[in-house]
Structure 1
């Protein structure tokens, strides 16, 4: 049975305010409107509870970046559901609080349109798929819930269960 996260089609609220400034190149980082440490830690705590997930360092980002790696037996999503190996989402260091995640293309477009995300800079050159987005760090408890929903979509996509 497919793992349902939220309502499909996903209903994302519009993110209030302007988009944060982000770096134009790799490493792709959020430069302002950064997430408070307690919200980052709550998101990380929740992320670590997902079944079949190993937490650890990112295989593709800065050393302080923490990532979720899906157990190989559960990693049934398409190649574009992963950042590298079985890593499907990572949380940038305390200076930032944003995430990189693989989202289904339609959900990535919806997250971008509603102000929650932007494509990774390498999408423009075709070096990474359009499923790779930066999701801006949560500024308050309501935004944390939206990010948690997007992490759930990424998880379901990686498991091959996003329908």
Structure 2
């Protein structure tokens, strides 16, 4: 893989039904992390225990730059939200314009987040090579959902990524792993992307959303191909 050091950090990242995770629905018997400043720590697996979500995904993803400044303050629990964050209107508008311009993506009310969040929904005509990541291969748990990301009212997002890319997002401080990533379940690589505050931040956020889109659909779209 692109970064052998990160390969040794492969997570067995997974979340419970994300509707509960984002909205604060019924919790399992174990205790969720409660820090308001740090996300849940990443769990690691040994080589040979590579998550299914990292397989068959290209190695040529652009390396993310390090985000300057401190991490955003978040709840550190569910519902997983930023605290005291507000979008920059022109940046937020361009973010939404670009991600909803992805081929085969519809703007719908999110099925997996709090009221006001907008889901990035992959239309039925678009083939999904990793429907299992979204629950499409799991009976009885949001099995029909095609929502691979959503934008919260404050401009932050939750996205479904390959595990190594999710770790990179966390390590470079563009976002953080979901607090429940180390719990038994079936979604891997769920991360929050912090609200972009500048056009430079926006480019990174769009790049990550496109990575998630390519991962789920098997496409090889570049950000400069978005209308």
Which of 174, 183, 196 matches 1:116?
174
Whole-Å separation in 2 of the counterparts to 1:154 and 1:26: 22
Give 1 or 2 for the bigger CA radius of gyration.
2
Q: Which moved more, 1:79-88 or 1:139-148?
A: 79-88
Which of 15, 39, 51 matches 2:67?
15
Please identify runs of 4+ aligned residues in structure 1 that moved more than 6 A: none
Flag the 1:128–1:120 CA change in 2: closer, same or farther, 3 A. Answer: farther
- Please give the root-mean-square deviation of Cα atoms over the aligned residues, in Å: 2.0
Whole-Å separation in 2 of the counterparts to 1:24 and 1:9: 28
Q: How many residues end up aligned between the 2 structures?
A: 154
Q: TM-score, normalised by structure 2?
A: 0.62
Q: Is the 8 A contact 1:81 1:157 kept in 2?
A: no
Task: Report Cα offsets for 1:22-53 as digits up to 9, x if no partner.
Answer: 11222211114543132112100111111111
Structure holding more strand per residue:
1
Task: Report Cα offsets for 1:68-110 as digits up to 9, x if no partner.
Answer: 10013324132454375100010001xx211000011111111
Structure 2 stretches of 5 or more lacking a match?
1-58, 136-141, 221-227
Query: 1:89 aligns to what?
Result: 149
Q: Is the 8 A contact 2:120 2:148 kept in 1?
A: yes
Q: TM-score, normalised by structure 1?
A: 0.85
Structure 1 stretches of 5 or more lacking a match?
1-6
